Chain A
Amino acid sequence: SQKIEQNSEALNIQEGKTATLTCNYTNYSPAYLQWYRQDPGRGPVFLLLIRENEKEKRKERLKVTFDTTLKQSLFHITASQPADSATYLCALDMVSSASKIIFGSGTRLSIRP
């Protein structure tokens, strides 16, 4: 069956540390992978997109990796801050399936001061 799994429902880390979130998928072949942030009561907000032929993408304190062999993406937030606390969602951009975008269940990240 097709699945997108994000590591642990919740992740708690100390301010200043690097947060690493995992997105694993099975039986999909996405051409692109995206990461979104969602705050309570709000819609998701786009953060980063990485293509299948890219190994790594960076934006300020964010870094995303994409390993199509392992079928895994890692999302890193360096020098984490309490303001980074939110739910983070990975999404597969399925070019081969009429460009549908499907989401993982999300990881709730809490950064404690």
Chain B
Amino acid sequence: DARVTQTPRHKVTEMGQEVTMRCQPILGHNTVFWYRQTMMQGLELLAYFRNRAPLDDSGMPKDRFSAEMPDATLATLKIQPSEPRDSAVYFCASAQSEGASTGELFFGEGSRLTVL
């Protein structure tokens, strides 16, 4: 049963600490998205990759957030230093994209981050 795997599922940390979230996309999928979800803002697009190349990270606070795909089986989202306002659920989603359209997204279960 192919699925997107995210770790950790829950993370509680103190302000100023570094946080790294990891995502294993579905094997063979060539597009990976990172979203952040809060009650106030809904599901916000942070960054996404096609064939491991970053396409758009304009939704991400550049001074503290970074997203990478070191290989086709791993995407990472790093926050350094973390702040209380970063508390949210972070979702990774992958897709098998053909042509210009991204197509159906498959989401992981999310990483719930709490920054104290």
Contacts and interface: CB of A to CB of B under 8 A. Distances in A.
A54 to B, nearest CB: 13
Contact of A45 (B31, B43, B50, B107): B107
A100 B56 contact: yes
Contact of A93 (B4, B43, B50, B101): B101
Interface in B86-116: 91, 93, 97, 100-110
Contacts of B108: 43
Interface stretch (A14-22, A59-67, A70-78, A101-109): A101-109
Given A99-B50, A105-B42, A46 B105 contact: yes
Interface in A2-40: 31-32, 34, 36
Contacts, number: 63
B96 to A, nearest CB: 12
B100 A31 contact: yes
B interface residue count range (under 10 / 10 to 19 / 20 to 34 / 35 or more): 20 to 34
A98 B100 CA distance: 7
A49 interface: yes
Tell me which of A43, A93, A100, A105 has the highest count of chain B C-beta atoms within 10 A of its own C-beta. Answer: A43
Contact of B106 (A46, A95, A103): A46
A49 B100 contact: no
Contacts of A95: 100-101
B110 A43 contact: yes
B56 A103 contact: no
17 contacts: A31-B100, A42-B110, A43-B108, A43-B109, A44-B43, A45-B107, A46-B104, A46-B106, A89-B43, A93-B103, A97-B56, A98-B55, A99-B55, A100-B48, A100-B55, A105-B43, A106-B42
Interface of B: 4, 31, 33, 35, 42-43, 45, 48, 50, 55-56, 91, 93, 97, 100-110
